[in-house]
Amino acid sequence: MNTRSIRFRLTAWYGGILVVLGLVFGAYCYWRLDHFLAVYVTELFSHRAERIASTLLANVGWSGEAYLGREIETRYAPEANDRFIRVTTSDGSVVYLSGEPYDQSFAPEEVPSPAKSLSGVSSGIVHAGRHDLLIATVPFATGNQKYLIEVGGSATPIKNVLRRFLVSLFIGLFVVLALAIWGGFLVIKWALAPVKKITATAEEITSHHLDKRLPIVDTGDEIANLSKTLNQMISRLEESFQSINRFTADASHELRTPLTIIRGELETLLLDEGLSKNVRETICSLIEETDNLSKIVQCLLSLSRLDAGRAQMERVRLDLADLVSTITDQMVPLADEKNVTLSAQMGGGAEVVGDRVRLKQVVVNLLDNAIKYTPEGGTVTVGVNVSDRQAQLEVSDTGPGIPGSDLPHVFDRFFRADRIRLGTIEGAGLGLSIVQSICTAHGGAVKAENHANGGCRFSVKLPLANQQNKAGQK
């Protein structure tokens, strides 16, 4: 799991805040319940004490203290009910003290005496030995005598209720928080799903695929707005790329005619027999340079048309292996001239849909480079096969290979690797750019890599004709 992802961090924050809120809420509930239980029980005790005062103590003058004790035992049975009842006079002498409760939760004689100065009803927790008691104390005066009536009970049942509440609260909170965090994780995942789609599409948008747009889920939220803004930016980029391409195409087109005229004029000059040897050589060299220039202009024109999608492209079904073996045969004389062995390994089933002339250019450029850069006595191998449901063309050689740092740039325009290593081998650095543009225009790709034991391999992958049909039917 990627701990730096927005999904993980949002869930962690959300979960953390929920846990803190859950704990605060739990603590508040525990505190309130503790308070309410204590208030409820002590109110019960103080009512009982008031009843003892009003029904029994009010008549103690003529009924006697012994009668009071018996009546309390009969009416309230404190031992059987696990209650504590004590009646004391203002001078501290005990008129009545209940016995040990059935559950032995406290020892009545250990309960400290009440404060004599008490003037109103009071209640609270009293420590009696190892036990805590909740006691309500009510003062009562009859005749000249003042009494304090205490009614209480062990605090343990309340503590037990609170303990059970705490356990249930923890289990409940744990389940609720786990569900809330899991739900939150799913909601965040769902909310961020468009971002995943946008990232995948954005990765496909290169200078060759500026016609693509990011998906917009029309929710009107920030992500939809971001996609719209990015799409507007891509449109502007597409426009600028197109105008650069148009400019290059127009400039190349305009340059072709003057170059043809210059070449024609130079050839006419050569017809003059009175020219000195030096002038003749200079004119020949100028014709050569004009030819090079024309080639470059022609390449630039093809490239810019391909990039702008303005290139006229035929779409015919053809067998790549047939095309490649015909071109290989045609290039054997060139290889023989350099004493380079040209071998072919053709597999079947590599049918593609494309422009025959342009695909031919791909094969010619790759084979031309391989023969050009392979030293005498070397071998160039060309093969066609089907791999990963794609037609694959491979051109390998036993030449010097391409320096690792140059590999990512060989398809850049006007790029020529290590001039010292290539020596006098001529080239403009546009051949591989054209190969790449043609492959892209056919929905394919080209890759360059070095062999482990020297030389390099160019592999072109193109969609198979039947795969294209399937894609078209979808």
Pattern of binders to ligand ADP over 447-466, x per CB under 6 A?
Answer: ---------x----------
Binding of residue 335 to ligand ADP (CB under 6 A): no
Least Å distance, CB 449 to ligand ADP, is 11
Tokens 């504590």 correspond to 84
Of 44, 46, 52, 41, which is closest to residue 76 (Cα–Cα)? 52
Least Å distance, CB 410 to ligand ADP, is 4
User: Considering CB under 6 A, how many residues would be counted as binding ligand ADP?
Assistant: 20
The CA-based angle 178-182-188, given to 5 degrees, is: 145
Least Å distance, CB 398 to ligand ADP, is 10
Binding of residue 429 to ligand ADP (CB under 6 A): yes
In the bound complex, which residue of the shown chain has the CB atom lying closest to ligand ADP? 427
In whole angstroms, how large is the CA radius of gyration of the chain?
A: 49
Label residue 39 exposed, middle or buried (CB < 10 Å: 0-12, 13-18, 19+): exposed
Label residue 290 exposed, middle or buried (CB < 10 Å: 0-12, 13-18, 19+): buried
Minimum CB distance to ligand ADP smaller for 1 or for 452 = 452
Alpha-helical (H) ranges within 56-152 are: 60-63, 65-76
Binding of residue 381 to ligand ADP (CB under 6 A): no
Which residue in 152, 431, 444, 463 binds ligand ADP (CB under 6 A)? Answer: 431
Torsion of Cα atoms, 90 then 92 then 96 then 98, to 10°? 120
Binding of residue 428 to ligand ADP (CB under 6 A): yes
Minimum CB distance to ligand ADP smaller for 214 or for 359 = 359
Pattern of binders to ligand ADP over 398-427, x per CB under 6 A?
Answer: -xx-x-------x----xxx----x----x
The CA distances from residue 4 to 10, 199, 298, 305, in Å, are 10, 16, 50, 44
Q: Which stretch binds ligand ADP (CB under 6 A): 106-114, 298-306, 431-439, 464-472?
A: 431-439
CB 390 within 8 A of CB 462: yes
d(CA 314, CA 468): 15
Minimum CB distance to ligand ADP smaller for 370 or for 382 = 370
* Residue 417: both structure tokens together: 């690797």
Binding of residue 370 to ligand ADP (CB under 6 A): yes
Pattern of binders to ligand ADP over 101-120, x per CB under 6 A?
Answer: --------------------
Note the residues at the interface with ligand ADP (CB under 6 A): 369-370, 373, 397, 399-400, 402, 410, 415-417, 422, 427-433, 456
